[in-house]
A and B are shown apart, each in its own frame.
Chain A
């Protein structure tokens, strides 16, 4: 595996921000009521993530150690504001429903942690790869939760995609479950915690099984075992 792909798969899989590092859970829980909300926030987060990481990697020689955090936060806030403006310009209806959670991307510790632990120490190229991987990992978790909660909570999938892709996307909506089969709880805040817990448990079970079978195969309790210790 080349260095680049190693960084990328580390970022989105082995150190997934949502289910391994448990970072950025606030927007994850709040916005995952539908696929379109999840997608909107994923895109906004990805923009901030890549913008902030690449800028920090670019400017890292200029950022003095004593003013490190203010500089990082300023750069992240800049890209968050930019993401808000872009969202208002190109997906106004979606902006109205997720505005608050786009604003608090500033305080998303996932982005700050990548800035501090990766982008400020690495070159521009590897930082962009790492940022893309982290954003992808976050998007996967968010979309999985969004789809799960939209399907079981309101019985649809891809409802309201026209907010993001224009009127032609109205036909994408799938009505899969009738009212009798819907679990209203899942679209409410407690449902967010329940489904996030299930996602976490599922992902950890899968990772444990994979790492166990790979150690059995190679019989070397390895240096290449995924680092899946959680941190909050």
Chain B
């Protein structure tokens, strides 16, 4: 006769793990949400630079689904590119009249660290900087990054698509 399988042990282990996870989650959840919001807003602020909306307005605008800022003939939208390891969340700002790009910034991504580090680099001369001042027609000429063509093509396509879909006449801004 085989011994009766004792499941008490594994159940105990699972309960222990659940407890550890719940405690960590409860103690960190608020802080993580704050960090994420601050990070997103910092990205938008970096993107818009001088044409900075005030923070209260920004927080309100962030509630919107896609268009996060739309004033002074500048539109900023949240995009999602279909990257190699998951969605790449982008912020794109452009001038509503000429569809000239003001900037692209990557808010969140799951691409391979090291290989896709260029997505975190917003400094001068970086790949993301090449989007600045390009237009809906010239954005297709930006070269993909060697070794990370899926990630960079995804970003480029998402940007090009958003620009094509945005109709200057139809973009309604609050002010």
A-to-B contact residues, CB < 8 Å: 30-31, 33, 51, 55, 59, 62-64, 66-67, 70-71, 74-75, 77-79, 81-82, 85-86, 88-90, 92-93, 96-101, 189
Contacts and interface: CB of A to CB of B under 8 A. Distances in A.
B21 interface: yes
Interface SS, B side: helix
Given A66-B5, A79-B20, A85 B25 contact: yes
Q: For this complex, into which size category does the number of interface residues on chain B fall?
A: 20 to 34
Nearest to A66: B5
Contacts of A70: 10
Interface string B4-38: 01101110111011001100110110011001101
Nearest to B18: A78
B120 interface: yes
A31 B112 CA distance: 11
Nearest to A90: B31
A130 B90 CA distance: 44
B13 A100 contact: no
Nearest to B110: A100
Nearest to B14: A74
Contacts of A88: 28, 32, 35
Contact of B13 (A31, A63, A85, A97): A63
Contact of A30 (B6, B8, B38, B114): B114
Given A30-B114, A82-B24, A67 B17 contact: no
Contacts of B13: 59, 62-63, 71, 74-75
B108 interface: yes
A98 B115 CA distance: 12
Contacts of A86: 24, 28
A134 B109 CA distance: 31
B125 interface: no
Given A82-B21, A96-B108, 13 more contacts: A33-B114, A59-B12, A63-B10, A64-B5, A64-B9, A78-B21, A85-B25, A85-B32, A86-B24, A92-B39, A97-B113, A100-B85, A101-B113
